[in-house]
Amino acid sequence: MGCSFQTVCLACHHQFISSSGGGFSFDELHCDVCGSLKTVLYEKHKDYVELKQRYFASDSKPPERVNESSPVDPVLDPPSEVPPEDVSLEMVESYLDRIVGRCECGGQFRLYAPIRCPKCRSDEVKTTVMIVLYD
C-alpha cells in the first residue's frame, strides 16, 4: 500500500508532498541521488514482478528502513507457486535498471531509496501529515 505525505526537510525546512510504497499493481521507486519518483506498472513488467516475488520468497532479507519515511513494504506475501531461489536485491535492482533506466540526474531508481528533499536532496526528512493511502 502506498501513501502520500506532507513532508518537511530537516536540513533546509522546505515543505513538499512525498509518496512512498506503491500499490496492488505498481511499485514506486525513488532515485538514490535526487529522490525523483518513477512508477513501474506490474502489467507491463511481469518478469520484474516474478523476479521480485522470488527475491522476497528467498532467504534474502530486505534492508532495514533507510529513514522513517521509507517504509519497506513491497509484495510481502508472494504467491506460493513461485519457488524460493537465491535471488539477491542486486539482481532485482539490475533488472530495474534495464526496464526503467537511469534518472536524469544520473542516479538509479531503487526499491529502498529514501525520500529526498526536492530542493536540497537531503534524505533527512520527516513526514508530518498523511494525505492519502492508495493501492
Q: Which residues contact 98 (CB under 8 A, 6 or more apart)?
A: none
Residue 76: CB atoms within 10 A of its CB come to 8
Q: Exposed/middle/buried for 61, CB within 10 Å: 0-12, 13-18, 19+?
A: exposed
Q: Would you say residue 131 has pLDDT above 90?
A: yes
Write down the pLDDT at residue 81.
Answer: 43
Predicted TM-score (pTM) of this structure:
0.75
pLDDT tens for 70-120 read: 444 444 343 444 445 678 888 899 999 999 999 999 999 998 999 999 999
Work out the angle at residue 109's Cα, subtended by the Cα atoms of residues 105 and 112, and round it to the nearest 5 degrees. Answer: 130
Q: Are 69 and 126 in contact (CB under 8 A)?
A: yes
Q: Exposed/middle/buried for 106, CB within 10 Å: 0-12, 13-18, 19+?
A: exposed
Whole-Å CA distances, 66 to 30, 32, 85, 123, 125: 12, 11, 25, 9, 11
Grid coordinates representing 118 are 526536492
Q: Are 109 and 103 in contact (CB under 8 A)?
A: yes
Instruction: Give the residue, 25 or 82, on which the prediction is more confident.
Output: 25
Q: Domain limits of the chain?
A: 2-134
